[in-house]
Amino acid sequence: MIVREAKLKHGTAEQYSAIDQAIRTAQFIRNKALRYWMDNQGTSKADLYSICKDLAKEFDFAKRLNSAARQASAERAWAAISNFYTRCKKGVGKKGFPKFKKHCRSVEYKVSGWKLSDDCKSIAFTDGFEIGTLSIFCNNETQEDLQRLKINRVRIVHRADGYYAQFCFDAERKEQGEYSGNVVGLDLGLKFFTKDQNDNAVIYPQFLRKAQKQLKKAQRRLSKKFVKGAKPQSKNYHSCRKRLGRIHLKVQRQRKDWAIKLARCVVHSNDVVVYEDLKIANMVKNHHLAKSISDAGWYQYTQWLDYYGKIWDKAVVAVSPSYTSQDCSNCGHRVKKSLSTRTHSCPSCKIEICRDTNAALNILYKGLNILGVQWNKNGTSGQEESAEKSGKHGEKTTAAVDQQFDTVSGLR
């Protein structure tokens, strides 16, 4: 599935108010479906669908929402329930019991309840809320997809800077990759965002840190406008709240754009990409580093590495980070060191290199061992063993690594 986004413009205040009502109704149906599951043991997905019909009969505002949109809201509740069941079966520590939504920001339509214009420059929503026609502003790539691909679903998303339409297309993105025979192992960190086995480092721009002064100022203004017990709050309060939200949204978009561009460049330049699969949820428990870790956005970056690996059919491998900084990449001797020690000095083979470079080498060796490829600094050569050992120590691959590789340059 391909998801494209376009901004909805040229709407009146009444139209945007109708969108907010539709979003609140979708939230209401989702929470009602979740409550029904809590109160009735053995509830199935079909039961949640039938709840949508009962709610439409009982509440007039629920009937105004398109029937397919009501079903989509019930599907959201069932997705939270099924994920909870899956985590229980796997024995995960935090099961993630489904919770009620307090602030929902989107409503989803299926194949009905909306109509796209012939030139794909406007969209009309035709359910009971009478949202009407809104203009679509998007790039050329999205316009081409709107005209040639089948749309499965349409979402309306409310963000700090306006309303957006997300189009879900029934297609799979696939592109022809360029293969160079290069391999790279990436060590993720804070001093250097990534460092590879060739000592090439990337420094993170720290978008949140740079916007911190502006965020604090906006937060102080918001706090001064808040009146305890007042419902609703004043217009000035909501104006400050939206201003603060736009600053956070800008930081979020900067971080995402930077992660996409860097991941695309790395996967495009290498045939095999190996990175460490960090447990970020455990790492942010260190309150001295939590803000820096969250600002770095390692998880988002690795997700885009996996994404481009699938698009270009390249091997992107996540390996366990255990002892990658302590084991010597030259002789394998384990040298224990604290986080403040930035140089790896091995007493066995007398080698001295950067701690992050040593970790990147170990990460690369682990990943190539999964793929059944032997690597040296001058090139790579294949082995008879394949990727049967993948996943043995928690490693995962995101490309077709079950194929037999003769050489890295001969992946395709």
Reported pTM: 0.82
* Helices and strands (DSSP H and E) totals, the chain: 12, 17
Q: Tell me: pLDDT of 151 over 60.
A: yes
pLDDT tens across 245-259, in order? Answer: 999 999 999 999 999
Distance of alpha carbon 338 from alpha carbon 325, whole angstroms: 10
Question: Residue 405's pLDDT is what?
Answer: 38
Q: What is the mean pLDDT of residues 297-317?
A: 92
Confidence of residue 397 (pLDDT cuts 50, 70, 90): low
The values of phi and psi at residue 48, to 5°, are -70, -35
Tell me the two tokens of residue 210: 């740079």
Helix (H, G, I), strand (E, B) or coil at 92: coil
Closest CA to 173 of 1, 4, 314: 1
Which has more confidence, 281 or 46?
46
* For residue 327, pLDDT beyond 90: no
Residue pair 132/154 in contact by the 8 Å Cβ criterion: no
pLDDT exceeds cutoff 90 at 171: no
Classified as helix, coil or strand, 399 is coil
Q: Which of 383, 371, 386 is nearest to 318 (CA)?
A: 371
Over residues 80-107, the mean pLDDT reads 89
Can you read off the two tokens belonging to residue 362?
């170990």
How do strand 315-319 and strand 272-276 relate by DSSP bridges?
Answer: parallel
- Residue 410 pLDDT exceeds 50: no
pLDDT in tens, 107-125: 999 989 999 998 889 999 9
Mean pLDDT of 193-216: 91
Residue 311 is encoded by which pair of tokens?
């698009």
More confident residue, 331 or 24: 24
Residue 333 confidence class, pLDDT cut points 50, 70, 90: confident
C-alpha–C-alpha distance, residues 56 and 70, integer Å: 9
Predicted local distance difference test score (pLDDT) of residue 355 = 86
Q: What is the mean pLDDT of the chain?
A: 86
- Res 391 pLDDT > 90: no
